[in-house]
Structure formats: structure tokens, C-alpha cells
Chains A and B, each alone.
Chain A
Amino acid sequence: MSEVKFSKEHEWITLEGDVATVGITKHATEMLGDIVFAELPEKGSNVEKDGTAGVVESTKAASDVYTPVSGEVVDTNQSIVDDPAKINEDPEGGAWFFKLKIKDTSELDTLMNKEEYDKFAKETSS
């Protein structure tokens, strides 16, 4: 599996072959608070880089989930729809959102590595 990459919209992404797994970062869940609702893209649909590909809602507000790369949705994680609190518990592990068959691996090059993202998250949250 490839190195974890991060977007400015606080998604993480890993790549295995040509299938990417996307979720939201721990930092994002800390900003959102208790997550009580999740909506995922439809399997088989095509999503475009930086386009919306889901929604999460906390007790406070709704936030869009964006996809860091373009591709076809090949799988979604129904368990976070059934129990959205899992997203707070394990955001960068079991609570992934969707898997994409990606079109253009070079789109990953525009994303941040862990060190860059941690710095970005720290700067933007203060």
C-alpha cells in the first residue's frame, strides 16, 4: 500500500494498485465533534477531483466530504452509515468512506504527505 496522502479539505487517501481508499482525518473529526450522520456516494458513480462525494453531520453542522482524486466509486463503507460514531472512534482506519478506481495517479502528486498535512492542520485551525 502506498504512503498516506492528505488533502486541504482534510481527507486522507491510500492507494493499492489502481484502487484508492478515502476517509476523513482525525483532525477533521476533532473539528467536527460528535458525528451523527454520514452519506456516501453511490457505487458505480463517477466523482471528479475536489468534487463532493459525501456528507458528514455532527450535532452542530453538516459538512461536505470531497474526493481528493477522480475515479469510479467501487465500494462504500456502509458500517459508518449505520453507526456514524465509528468515524470519531477510528477515522483513519476502519471508518474509511469509499474506494475509487482512479483514472490518473498523477492527481495524487498534488496532495500533502503526513508531515505537510500536520503542519497545514495546525496552521489552519489556530
Chain B
Amino acid sequence: MEIKKTSLNKLHQSNNAKFVEFAGYEMPIQYSKGIIEEHKFTRSNSGIFDVSHMGQLFIYGDESLTEELEKIFPLDLKNLKQNCSKYSFLMNEDAGIYDDLIITKIEEGYLIILNAACKDKDFDILSNLLGSKFKMNLDNNRSLIAIQGPKSVEILNSIINGVDQLNFMTGNWFDSDNQKLFVTRSGYTGEDGFEISISNDKAEKFVEDLIEKGAQLIGLGARDTLRLEAGLCLYGHELDINKTPVEANLRWAISKSRLSNGGFIGSKKIMNQMQDGASQIRVGIKPEGRLIAREKTKIFNDTDKQIGEITSGTFGPSVNGPIAMGYVDKEFSKVDTKILLEVRGKKHPASVCALPFYKKNYVKGVN
């Protein structure tokens, strides 16, 4: 299959990107300054991320659409206000996660942002569940640009006036350069920031304008270290079809009002696990010293029994040390529990720790 390219591919090239294949797309892993510099620039200034490979699914319909979507997602969508966003999951009957996503209520429908590797399958699953009653468009004509970091609000507001009035996890349509942009105040780095949905033919010029205002392009490498410091899950690592939201320690994302009556796919399993607890749970892990424990590293207790596995591990540039997340048996999930990580045949000490590793700077209330 031919590798796909986003509308910013040429711009990445002219900014000396190193490319990798990610979910069938040629994506920049880093630019010339490298992952650590890019990471720190995002935390202190403003980083631009091409996330156009992600799916932008627009679903339009009447009020029955909300009812149908409540049969799928563990959310109180009836009480979700227009332009407000929620983090959620597409699950199977066993509450296994097909994908994690952000859903935003828009005029006459919903916008769902899906992971690149999952979007086509998600579309098929949702099409089957919803039937032909609603208009569904997995829009390949739009790019998705994230701008993250403390200076992003000022930079973006100088191009799209009014975005500074958005609260975190809300969005709206804005007019800029004779076109409609959908902007949400959100992101996946632990910083204040925005995601902008923009037509492909305008994306390059828009990003060039952001760069001129002082923001810089950031690759997938720093995106990974940023999200891991922020304690955020990445599909295919912390989340997959064999993990449930309760096991992933994401019960906060399940609307309380949906737990009494269920009625969404996977609700039985979720309600059981909420009551009895899951046998394994996602935790933060801090290795001692400088040791890096990568994905698939086995976790042991002090009597040589394997009690879990690392799902992501790297060096956190802002915390200046190694960080990881993984799943451990419930009885070892308490903060400060001592564990051992097997790296290159030797067991190294580590401890379970609270997430996030890096404190968030989200803007909670502008208005």
C-alpha cells in the first residue's frame, strides 16, 4: 500500500524533518533540533503538531442521533452542551477498547476525532451500529493542526481572533482567511493549547503564519514524551482491544449518570469492574536512577513473580529522568509500591507513582 502524506508534507521536508511511517502515513518524528529541544520548546513556548493523520468524523442527524450515540458511548450526551467536548472510547461488548477519541457536540451533530491507525475500522463499526439514518463523513479534505504550550493562545489569537475566549474542552467555528475553521481548546501534551480543523488547501499557509508568529514545528517523538509526562494514554500502547477503561484507570471519563442504568456497549463489564475492581490497573512507574524501561519490559515483585508489564517508557525531558506507564496486578497498584523492572536480563528497582509526571497547565475558565 502506498504511504499517505498529509497536506503539510512539503513543509515538513523544507523544515528538515526526519520521517517515519506511522499508521500508514509519512510523518515527521523530529526536525533538526531534536526531540528534547522540541519538547522543551513546547513546554516553554509554542509547538505546532501536524495531526492531520487523525480521523475527523462528522456525523449529522436529528435528536435521535444523540440517543443512538448514547447506546455506544459511556457519556451523558443529552446534557452535553453544544461546542463542548468529552474524552471517550469506542468499545466492544466486553468493554475492550477499539479506540479512544474526543467527541464534540456541534450544530446538528457531532465531530469525533479518531486515532489514525483506527479511523477506518471505527468508521465501519459506527456505520454498522448507526445504520444509514445519519450522514457520516470521515473528512479527508480537512487537515488537523495542534498548537500547544503557554504562548499558543497569544499566537493563535493573533491569527484567529476570539480563540482566547474558549474554555478548555470546548470549541467553535471561526472565520479566518475566507474559510470556516473549527477550533477546540484541547490537546495531548499537558499544556494549554488548541486543535484546528482546516481545509487541506489552506493548511500550509496557516502553519507558515503560526511559524512567523514564533511557534515551531514539533515531531511525533516529542509528542510522545510530552504525552507520557502528562500521564496520557496512547492507543496501541496503554489501550487496546484487551483493555477496558476501568483497567486503564480512566473511570473519570465515564459519565456517572450512565452507570446506574448502563445501556451502552460494554456497560455490563464496566459496571462489574467499577464494583469489584479490575485485576490489573494502569499506573505511573518511576525507575530509580537513569534506567529507561521500554514498552514490554516485565515487572516483578520482590519474590520474582511477574506482576505486570510496561506499556510506554522513555526519558522525560521536563522531569529530567526516566518515566513509564504500565499495568500491574491490583495489589501492587498503590503509589510508592516498590517493584522491579527486568531490563537486559537484570532486575532494576522502581516504584509505582502518581500521574501525571508533569503538572498540567490547562486553562480551566476564561469566562
- A: residues with CB less than 8 A from B are 33-34, 36-37, 39, 55, 57-62, 81, 84
Contacts and interface: CB of A to CB of B under 8 A. Distances in A.
B262 interface: no
A36 B290 contact: yes
Nearest to B30: A33
B35 A37 contact: no
30 contacts: A33-B30, A33-B34, A33-B35, A33-B221, A34-B34, A34-B35, A34-B36, A36-B36, A36-B290, A36-B292, A36-B315, A36-B322, A37-B292, A37-B315, A37-B322, A39-B344, A55-B344, A57-B315, A59-B35, A59-B36, A59-B221, A59-B225, A59-B315, A59-B317, A60-B29, A60-B35, A61-B294, A62-B292, A62-B294, A81-B290
B291 interface: yes
Which bucket holds chain B's interface residue count? 10 to 19
A84 B11 CA distance: 32
Task: Provide the main secondary structure of the chain B interface.
Answer: mixed
B317 to A, nearest CB: 7
A36 B323 CA distance: 12
Nearest to B321: A36
Interface of B: 29-30, 34-36, 221, 225, 290-292, 294, 314-315, 317, 322, 344
A37 B34 contact: no
Contacts of A58: 35
Contacts of A62: 292, 294
Contact of A57 (B34, B36, B292): B292
Give the top 9 A-B pairs by smallest Cβ distance, nearest first: A36-B315, A59-B35, A34-B36, A57-B292, A34-B34, A37-B292, A37-B290, A59-B315, A33-B34
Nearest to A59: B35
A92 to B, nearest CB: 19
A114 B352 CA distance: 47
B291 A37 contact: yes
Contacts of A57: 292, 315
A14 to B, nearest CB: 27
Contacts of A37: 290-292, 315, 322
A116 to B, nearest CB: 26
B221 A84 contact: no
Given A33-B30, A37-B290, A84-B290, A59 B344 contact: no
Nearest to A61: B294
Contacts of A34: 34-36
A54 B29 CA distance: 26
A83 B315 CA distance: 13
Contacts of A59: 35-36, 221, 225, 314-315, 317
